[in-house]
Every structure is written in structure tokens, then in C-alpha cells.
């Protein structure tokens, strides 16, 4: 793929990183090995986003439903997250990446929450790619929480019903400070949103690959961007 005009590069990309467990199973490895292997794909995609000038990248790292997995796997995922944050904080600072998170992160183990808060604080002044980790995140929960906040404001007299519109509702979501994703990438061939950014993905372009996330590399990412650049986004217009 040659160089793309800036207007053909998605401003915000969201990724459902799926297939770690199946990748490991196909190799006779424990599921934890698949999650560890997926970390390399994250590194390559972050690097590719920086090369292309993508402004925002949201990764579905741990869903609210993932808490229902076996405790051993949850512990492994939390340990991996903690190590990832520890090892990448300085690298993010050096490469001008700003780290942020969405979701009910208060449910993370204290040590994970500490490393997350530390990395966010260390990179808050960076002006390059904003990397948003969706952790303990579920879109239905997010939308429900936003509705509760709006109802509370109405009850307290801070807001009238006539003031509530789409933008006002969006301003109460976890993603209020970010633009909606232009492109959603999902690995492993599954054709569903899995409770991810249901509101924000209303007009996003979808790209699905059969590759498992640990096998997803920069060349695959560039292929997705090339596919996106050739689409005609009409937003309901002719």
C-alpha cells in the first residue's frame, strides 16, 4: 500500500482483539499463552497507527463479561495487564503515546489499577496517538450509567428534558472526549459487536479478518486501512 492522503486515514480505529484462546488451543498451548502472544500484535498496531497518523486507537482489552471466565484465566489476564502497563509506560512516554481507559476500571485488582493510573498520569502530556484501553468495559453498562447520570441531573433541576439530544447523551458516555471510531477491526472471523461501543460505532466501517489476534501483524493492519480507504462513507446520504 502506498502513502495515503490524510483524509483517507481513519482518525479513530477500534479493534476487537479476538481469538487468543483459539490461537493457543490450535497449538496445544494454554489460553494464557495466547494472551501473551497477543501483546506483540498490540505493539505492531500501535506502531502502524503512529506511522499513518491515526489519532485514536481503542482496544477491547477486557470486557465486563470476561469476569465470568474461570478465575485462573482472569488472574492470568490481570497479571499480563499489569506487566504490560509496567513495561510499556516508559515506551509510551518516549514515543509520545497518550494512554487512556474506559470502563469500570474500579473493578480491576488494586495492583492493576495502580499501574493503569500511573501510566495514564505519566503520559497525560503526550500529544501523539491516544491509546484507549477498554477494561472491564461493556457498552450496555456504559449507556445505562449515562442514562442514570442524565436522570439524576433532571431530578436535581440541573437539566430539562428539552435539552436532552443525541449530543447531550454522548457527552455522558465514557468516550465523551473522543470522536466516534471511523473503522472497527475484528479478528478471528466473528461477526458480532460483543457489547463494544454500541452507540459510538453507529456509522463506523467494519473490517473482519479470519486471522486470530496473535497472528495479526502490521501488514494485516495496513490491508484493513487500504480496504477502508476505498469505501464511500455516505452517512445515510445518497
* CATH code of 74's domain: 3.40.1180.10
| Predicted local distance difference test score (pLDDT) of residue 156 | 96
Q: What is the pLDDT of residue 212?
A: 98
User: Do residues 142 and 164 lie in contact, with contact meaning Cβ atoms separated by under 8 Å?
Assistant: no
pLDDT at residue 21, as a whole number: 93
Catalytic machinery residues: 18, 66
Average confidence (pLDDT) per 10 residues, the chain, 238 residues = 77 97 96 92 95 97 96 94 90 94 97 96 96 98 97 96 95 98 98 98 97 97 96 73
**3-state DSSP assignment of residue 56:** strand
- DSSP codes, 111-128: HHHHHHHHHHHHHTT--S
Give me the pLDDT at residue 237, please: 65
Is 145 within the bounds of a domain? no
237: in domain = no
In 3D, which of 66, 58, 137, 139 has the Cα closest to residue 99?
A: 58
Are 136 and 69 in contact by the 8 Å Cβ rule? The answer is no
**Domain annotation covers residue 234:** no
Q: How many domains does the chain have?
A: 1
The reported pLDDT for the residue numbered 122 is 93
Please report whether residue 119 resides in a domain: yes
The answer as to whether 174 is a domain residue is no
- Angstrom distances, CA of residue 166 to CA of 170, 173, 176, 194, 200: 6, 11, 12, 23, 11
Alpha carbons within 13 angstroms on the beta-carbon side of residue 228 total: 28
Q: Would you say residue 147 lies in a domain?
A: no
Q: What is residue 4's predicted lDDT score, i.e. its pLDDT?
A: 76
Residue 219 forms part of a structural domain: yes
**Residue 30, φ and ψ in degrees, nearest 5:** -65, 155
Tally of CB atoms within 10 A around 117: 14
Q: Which residues contact 60 (CB under 8 A, 6 or more apart)?
A: 14, 15, 16, 17, 134, 137, 194, 196
CA 26/CA 19 separation, integer angstroms: 10
Q: What is the pLDDT, as a whole number, of residue 1?
A: 52
Domain containing 219 equals: 9-138+181-229
Look at residue 149 and tell me if it is in a domain. no
pLDDT at residue 232 in the model: 83
Amino acid at each position: 500500500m502506498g502513502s495515503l492522503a490524510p483524509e483517507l486515514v481513519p482518525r479513530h480505529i477500534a479493534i476487537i482483539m479476538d481469538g487468543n484462546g483459539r490461537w493457543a488451543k490450535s497449538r496445544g498451548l494454554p489460553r494464557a499463552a495466547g494472551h501473551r502472544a497477543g501483546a506483540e500484535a498490540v505493539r505492531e498496531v500501535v506502531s502502524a497507527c503512529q506511522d499513518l497518523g491515526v489519532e485514536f486507537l481503542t482496544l477491547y482489552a477486557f470486557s465486563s463479561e470476561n469476569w465470568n471466565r474461570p478465575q485462573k484465566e482472569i488472574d492470568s489476564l490481570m497479571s499480563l495487564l499489569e506487566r504490560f502497563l509496567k513495561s510499556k509506560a516508559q515506551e509510551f512516554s518516549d514515543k509520545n503515546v497518550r494512554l487512556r481507559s474506559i470502563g469500570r476500571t474500579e473493578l480491576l485488582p488494586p495492583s492493576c489499577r495502580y499501574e493503569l493510573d500511573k501510566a495514564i498520569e505519566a503520559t497525560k502530556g503526550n500529544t501523539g496517538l491516544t491509546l484507549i484501553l477498554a477494561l472491564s468495559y461493556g457498552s450496555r453498562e456504559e449507556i445505562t450509567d449515562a442514562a442514570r447520570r442524565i436522570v439524576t441531573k433532571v431530578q436535581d433541576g440541573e437539566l430539562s428534558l428539552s435539552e436532552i439530544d443525541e449530543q447531550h447523551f454522548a457527552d455522558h458516555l465514557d468516550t465523551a472526549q473522543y470522536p466516534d471510531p471511523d473503522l472497527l477491526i475484528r479478528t478471528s472471523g466473528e461477526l458480532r459487536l460483543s457489547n463494544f461501543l454500541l452507540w459510538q460505532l453507529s456509522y463506523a466501517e467494519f473490517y473482519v479478518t479470519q486471522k486470530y489476534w496473535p497472528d495479526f501483524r502490521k501488514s494485516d493492519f495496513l490491508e484493513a486501512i487500504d480496504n477502508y480507504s476505498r469505501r464511500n462513507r455516505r452517512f445515510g446520504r445518497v
